[in-house]
Amino acid sequence: MRIASALLLAAGLMLSSVRSAIAQPSTMLSVNGTPASMIISSAVTGVGSMSVTDATTTYFVRVKNASGNGTISAQLSAPMPLGTTLSLTMTPSFGATSLGPVDLSTVSQAVVTNIQKENGSTLAMTYVFAATAAAGVVPTQSRTVTFTLVAVP
C-alpha cells in the first residue's frame, strides 16, 4: 500500500512537472492592451513639435537562462505620415537594456536588448506620437506594430 502511494505521488509530481513545462515556455512575449487613439489637438504656441503620450499598455516577457539572450524588436506596417513620428519606449526587465525612445519605422529595430534570466515580468510600454506643424491635419489612421522576441542561445 505504501509503495503504491509512493508511486502515485511520484507520478503526480512528474505530471505536475510536465504541466509546468508545457504551461511555461522558456521564451515568451505578449503585448497587452490597445493604446487609446492618439490625437494631437493642441500645441505649445510657437514650439515646433506637438505630441501626445500613451502609457496604458504593457508587455510580458520571459527569457529563461537556458534560452540565452533576448532582444525585442518592433516595426510598423506602413510608414508614418510626413512630419509625424511614433516612438516607443519599453521598460526593460532587470538587467536588460532599453534603447527607447525608438522612432518606429517599417524597418525592424531593437527596442530592448540583453534580456536574460527573466522568469516573466509585466512591464510598461510608452508610445509618443509627435507631429510638426508641417504635417498639417492628419485624419485618423492606424499602424500595426509588430513585436518580435528573438532569443539567441
Residue 66 binding other proteins, by CB under 8 A: yes
Gap between the Cα atoms of 109 and 102, Å rounded = 8
| Residue with smaller CB distance to other proteins, 40 or 99 | 40
- Cβ atoms of 125 and 111 within 8 Å: the answer is no
The residue with cell 516595426 is: 75
Binding flags for other proteins, 78-107, as an x/- string (CB under 8 A):
------x-x---------------------
Q: Is 23 in the site for other proteins (CB under 8 A)?
A: no
What is the C-alpha separation between 123 and 64, in angstroms, rounded?
Answer: 16
- One DSSP character per residue, 63-118 reads E-GGG-EEEEEEEESSPPPTTEEEEEEEPPPTT-EE--SEE--SS-EEEEEEE-SE
Name the one range near other proteins by CB under 8 A: 8-16, 33-41, 90-98, 110-118. Answer: 33-41
**How many whole angstroms separate alpha carbon 46 and alpha carbon 132?**
11
Which 118-147 residues touch other proteins, going by CB under 8 A?
127, 129, 131-147
Any contact of residue 110 with other proteins (CB under 8 A)?
Answer: no
Region near other proteins per CB under 8 A, out of 3-11, 62-70, 94-102, 112-120 = 62-70
Among 2, 20, 45, 107, binds other proteins (CB under 8 A): 45
> Cell 526587465 appears where?
93
Residues of the shown chain interacting with other proteins in the complex, contacts defined by CB under 8 A: 26-31, 33-35, 37-50, 54, 57, 59, 66-68, 84, 86, 127, 129, 131-153
